[in-house]
Structure 1
Amino acid sequence: MWPSLLLLLLLPGPPPVAGLEDAAFPHLGESLQPLPRACPLRCSCPRVDTVDCDGLDLRVFPDNITRAAQHLSLQNNQLQELPYNELSRLSGLRTLNLHNNLISSEGLPDEAFESLTQLQHLCVAHNKNNLISKVPRGALSRQTQLRELYLQHNQLTDSGLDATTFSKLHSLEYLDLSHNQLTTVPAGLPRTLAILHLGRNRIRQVEAARLHGARGLRYLLLQHNQLGSSGLPAGALRPLRGLHTLHLYGNGLDRVPPALPRRLRALVLPHNHVAALGARDLVATPGLTELNLAYNRLASARVHHRAFRRLRALRSLDLAGNQLTRLPMGLPTGLRTLQLQRNQLRMLEPEPLAGLDQLRELSLAHNRLRVGDIGPGTWHELQALQMLDLSHNELSFVPPDLPEALEELHLEGNRIGHVGPEAFLSTPRLRALFLRANRLHMTSIAAEAFLGLPNLRVVDTAGNPEQVLIRLPPTTPRGPRAGGP
């Protein structure tokens, strides 16, 4: 079971059975009332093992916490330090949430967590004024059962961590060090680690030696760092043979990193400087199911016609926000989703879309397409297409011969001034049609345009020069109505 982001883990329990003692012992009911449990002032204790002191503006660590506590939440307070004498009493804690306090490195004594050997989830993230700059040496040496550790939104530097900081955490699965000031991947990562979040740091290069210990890593998040052209040299990720997902968006990479792990399934690389895709750039990752190269600098002339030839498992391809003037060739035939919005497409031809008979969603919004630029037969093989987005182009009328399976059609923000009676004859399954912000007038849509569309439920014509009269199919309970709000 993969760990989820844990901000608060409070385990609900069954409510007490009211009146049980009275029913069993009618004469002794009053004497059998349970004694009230000790609970810190203003906190709540829904169970004997759970203490919730969230958001109480506490400046001092609360006393009177039961030794039986397993789950303690102190998030959203103003604690500045962790008293060793108080924590040492709570040796049974499994969850400790200190998110969003004022704890500094000075307020985190070396032995702070020494007695918490049962701890499984620890959150010391997002302390106001980002005060934690180091983890004391040995502070986590006895937390061998810790599964999730949250240290994001602090001021951790390379010198604030050493090779032993995490090395004793033999059960650790999730480590969040995002939003800190690290320039390298920490050393001493445990083999059990499945998710490592290093986003929003200052990492310039990833070294293979730092990842040798984390051979079980499945998800590596390196978004918004300072990785440049040499930030991920060949072999840097070779130790991570089981890596499933790699997030690299918001860096300065100018090409797809070489020699990626062969079992990689998701490569998320938007908002970089990738300007070309060569014939061999993606051959090392034949198992990719998701490839996101949105908002890079790809131009059609620099995307090789065989760039995608090995990606037979690819289901989602995002090329939005690039500089493409035509559809890429050689697209994998198993694609389900293709994002090409915000490019500079001026023409659509049937050849690049040939064989995409499993494609369900196609976005071509915010391009420069005109109806005359869409070649005959372009939609012919898109037999499974359910959503087509042609919004914000230069279309003057509804393109003909759209796919039969289409259910959702976006045409808003074009130049459409007339919808004829045969506009939707090829799309009998249409459910939602968006025509807002075009050039439609009150009588621009033919009365017969929606005949034969029994599933049509949404027709959006707002934002046109005049309010447009919409006549839904006869099977619809309601009669004529005005489109748009």
Structure 2
Amino acid sequence: MLRSPWLPHALPGHTEPSLHPQQLSLLLLVLPLLLPPGPLPVPGMEDPDFPHPGESSQPPPWACPWRCSCPQADVVDCAGLDLHVFPDNITREARYLSLQNNRLRELPYNELSRLSGLRTLNLHNNLISSEGLPDEAFESLGQLQHLYVAHNQLSAAPQFLPRSLRVADLAANQVTEIFPLTFGEKPALRSVYLHNNQLGNAGLPPDAFRGSEAIATLSLSSNRFRYLPPSLPTSLERLHLQNNLISKVPRGALSRQTHLRELYLQHNQLTDSGLDATTFSKLRSLEYLDLSHNQLATVPTGLPKALSILHLGRNRIRQVEAARLRGARGLRYLLLQHNELGATGLPAKALRPLRALHTLHLYGNRLERVPPGLPRSLGALLMPHNHVAALGARDLASVPGLAELNLAYNRLTSARLHHRAFHRLRTLRCLDLAGNQLTRVPAGLPGSLRALRLQRNQLRALEPESLAGLGQLQELSLAHNQLRIGDIGPGTWHELQALQMLDLGHNELSFVPPDLPEALEELHLQGNRIGHVGPEAFLSTPHLRAVILRANRLHMTSIAAEAFLGLPHLRVVDTADNPEQVLVRLPPTTPRRPRAGGS
């Protein structure tokens, strides 16, 4: 029957009542009087009772598919609507069409061919197969620049894509084959994303990128390549090949990629025999090279001069030779964590060619001492989880500009830590000595320190002299030691005027230490033997924001009612895991009421 678009639609599950012929004639006579002046609404325009998502209830003056959003005449947004079929009534004026996050299985050629002016087509996260994406679907899209078909079910790439394409994203499909004109002969193409597919070397033809001399980004990670593909675009600036099965880079495979700035080859099966002296030597623009998580036994040769970051972590490297680093004089970050570097793994002068080196990462090796002859430029030395047992007076003399030193979880003892070991480090800001065997705070700590970490040692005493001169210290961790109240000498905290965080958790303290620094904002006392908190416990720390008292020996009435009243900034008091539920009274300026169990 004929129905006015301005009359209510039938409710779901109900049939519309049929009209008698006389009633129909009457309706046709009065219909012009019921409709507003102007043209009839375009067929397919959404019902006014179903406004656009995020838009006003008034429909736009141009056609828009039902339930979709069309904020502009050339924008059609049908994302996230659980659509199973391609929407009809998409205007021919559309330049941007989003159909992502739906349940589409195919694109009808007749509908897509109408949209010859499309610039962007987003089909991300649907159920589209290669059979549902016919090659002829793109024949009429001569102006398409951005195509997003990631997270679908494509088994092969489209054989033909428009010459106008700039960005193509086919990631996270099941693609096993690329064709010569999928990405070839695309002079404007800049970015191609094919990661998380099932591509092998046989599925990528030698001429896959012929005629596409502007490609800057190519992502082939998480596929099944066994060797680096030949005939890659010479214009490449970023190449992602991580998470493949690559054991070899064929000779000359990277000889023409002189614009390449970033190369990702981590999580492969590369060995020394899979590389040669020319593998990287022609990459004169290369700044970032990631070879971590492979099977290399030595540092590769022929590293380019422009290289700034070299990631060699998680390999099998036993020794670093100076000759292999000589070409990479501009290197700033060298990462060698989790290798097999032993006592002679970093001999003197091995790193001397690296005059610009800022960060040396040696986590998880078997080094027995700080490497000699470190570059003077070094700003961060990270050596946790090694076998360093001693630190001499001159071991760090060559790096006076060091700002961060991490020797956590080594074998350092107080007896073998020279009292002038840190004497020359006048710009040191962070010192991490956690997890060693120190029985006292090291002497001669530089006054520039902002963070000092000494947790998980065997400290039994704190004296004012050991912390003297640390007026800029903001963070001090002394957790998991053997400190008692009687072991903390009077005036120990006196010079720590900038200290904001103090961790004394998991020691043997029986009450809150007195005369804590005035600037303190965060105090950790968990896991001690504290059984009472008196009314004057926090008088010296008016800026406290958090006090952690969990897992002590507190009972219901252990904390004095006035203990926290002078702390207007206090927001957290943690008293969980004590023998009894503890009543905490927060300052009256705090809107929360006193309650049991903490705040």
Shared topology, TM-score over 0.5? yes
Cα pair 2:476 2:502 within 8 Å, conserved: yes
Equivalent position of 1:214 in the other structure:
328
Task: State the partner residue of 1:19.
Answer: 73
Letter in 2 for 1:71: S
Which piece of structure 1 moves more, 314-323 or 32-41?
Answer: 32-41
- Confirm whether residue 103 of structure 1 aligns to residue 225 of structure 2: yes
1:59 equivalent in structure 2: 176
Q: What do residues 169-213 of structure 1 show as CA deviations (whole Å, max 9, x unaligned)?
A: 010000000011111110000000000000011111111100111
Is contact 1:39-1:65 (8 Å) kept? no
Report the secondary structure of 1:84's partner residue: coil
Q: Which aligned pairs between 1:92-171 and structure 2 lie closer than 5 A? A: 92-105=214-227, 108-109=228-229, 111-113=230-232, 116-127=233-244, 131-171=245-285
Change (3 A) 1:17 1:296: same
Match of 1:25 in 2: none
Structure 1 position 88, deviation (Å): 2.5
Counterpart of 2:196 in structure 1 is 76
Matches within 5 A, 1:68-467: 68-81=188-201, 82-105=204-227, 108-109=228-229, 111-113=230-232, 116-127=233-244, 131-467=245-581
SS at match of 1:317: strand
Which consecutive residues of structure 1, in runs of 5 or more, have no partner in the other structure? Answer: 1-15, 22-27
Q: Which residue number corresponds to residue 102 of structure 2?
A: none
Distance 2:74 2:169 in 1: 27
Aligned partner of 2:52 in structure 1 is: none
Deviation of residue 455 (structure 1)?
A: 0.3
Q: Do the aligned partners of 2:462 and 2:492 also contact (CA within 8 Å) in 1?
A: yes
Contact 2:216/2:236 (8 A) holds in 1: yes
The one-character-per-residue Cα deviations of 1:266-286 (angstroms, maximum 9, x if unpaired) are 000110000000001000000
C-alpha spacing 1:87/1:371, structure 2 compared with 1 (3 Å): same
User: Matched residue of 2:325: which SS?
Assistant: helix
TM-score scaled by structure 1? 0.90
Larger Rg: 2
Structure possessing the higher relative contact order (Cα contacts under 8 Å, 6 or more residues apart): 1
- Cα distance, 1:117 vs structure 2: 1.1
Tell me the secondary structure at the aligned position of residue 326 of structure 2. helix
Change in Cα spacing, 1:29 to 1:152, as seen in structure 2 (3 Å) is closer
Decide whether the 8 Å contact of 1:273 with 1:297 is kept in 2. Answer: yes
Contact 2:149 2:171 in 1 (8 A): no
Secondary structure of the residue aligned to 2:327 is helix
CA shift, 1:472, in A, is: 0.2
For the residues of structure 2 that align with 1:97 and 1:148, how far apart are their CA atoms? 11
* CA spacing shift, 1:314–1:331, aligned 2, 3 Å: same
How far did 1:20 drift?
A: 6.9
Decide whether aligned partners of structure 1 residues 38 and 305 sit closer, same or farther in structure 2, where only a CA change above 3 A counts.
closer
Query: Which segments of 5 or more consecutive residues in structure 2 lack a partner in the other structure?
Result: 1-69, 76-91, 95-113, 119-140, 152-160
Work out whether 1:34 is the aligned partner of 2:151: no
What letter corresponds to residue 359 of structure 2 in structure 1? T
Indicate conservation of the 8 Å contact 2:217/2:237, yes or no.
yes
Q: Give the C-alpha shift of residue 417 in structure 1.
A: 0.9
Q: Partners in 1 of 2:492 and 2:286 — Cα distance? A: 51
- Change in Cα spacing, 1:137 to 1:478, as seen in structure 2 (3 Å) is same
Equivalence for 2:33: none
Q: RMSD over aligned Cα, in angstroms?
A: 2.1
Contact 1:40 1:64 in 2 (8 A): no
The alpha carbon displacement at 1:42 in A equals 4.0
For residue 32 of structure 1, report the CA deviation from its aligned partner.
9.9
**1:388 aligns to what SS in structure 2?**
strand
DSSP 3-state at the match of 1:301? helix
CA displacement at 1:484 relative to structure 2: 4.0
Indicate if the aligned counterparts of 1:125 and 1:151 stay in contact, CA closer than 8 A: yes
Give the aligned partner of residue 8 of structure 1: none
Given residue 464 of structure 1, which amino acid in structure 2 is its aligned partner? N
CA–CA separation in structure 2 for the residues paired with 1:40 and 1:440: 64
Deviation, 1:439, is 0.9
Match of 2:117, as an amino acid? Answer: P
Which residue identity is paired with 2:428? L
Structure 1 Cα separation of the partners of residues 578 and 190 of structure 2: 61
Q: Map of 1:2-17 to 2, 5 A cutoff? A: none
C-alpha change, 1:29 and 1:449, in structure 2 (3 Å) is closer
Distance in 2 of aligned mates of 1:220 and 1:212? 13
Aligned-partner Cα distance in 1 for 2:326–2:597: 61
- Normalised TM-score (structure 2): 0.73
Q: Is the 8 A contact 2:145 2:167 kept in 1?
A: no
Query: Residue 9 of structure 1 corresponds to which residue in structure 2?
Result: none
User: Is residue 149–residue 169 contact of structure 2 (8 Å, CA) maintained in 1?
Assistant: no
Q: Give, in angstroms, the shift of residue 102 of structure 1.
A: 1.2
Asked whether the 8 Å contact 1:38–1:65 carries over to 2, the reply is: no
- In 2, Cα distance between equivalents of 1:484 and 1:53: 53
Looking at structure 1, the residues matched to 597 and 231 of structure 2 have their Cα atoms a distance apart, in angstroms, of 64
Give the whole-Å Cα distance in 2 for the aligned partners of 1:117 and 1:295.
46
CA contact (8 A) 2:146 2:166 kept: no
Q: Count matched residues.
A: 455
- Conserved 8 A contact 2:147-2:169: no
State the Cα deviation string for residues 321-370 of structure 1 (Å, max 9, x = none).
00000000000011000000000111111111000000000000111111
1:50 match: 167
Alpha-carbon shift at residue 99 of structure 1 (Å): 1.2
Identity of aligned residues (%): 71
Deviations 1:445-466 (A, max 9, x none): 0001012100000001111111
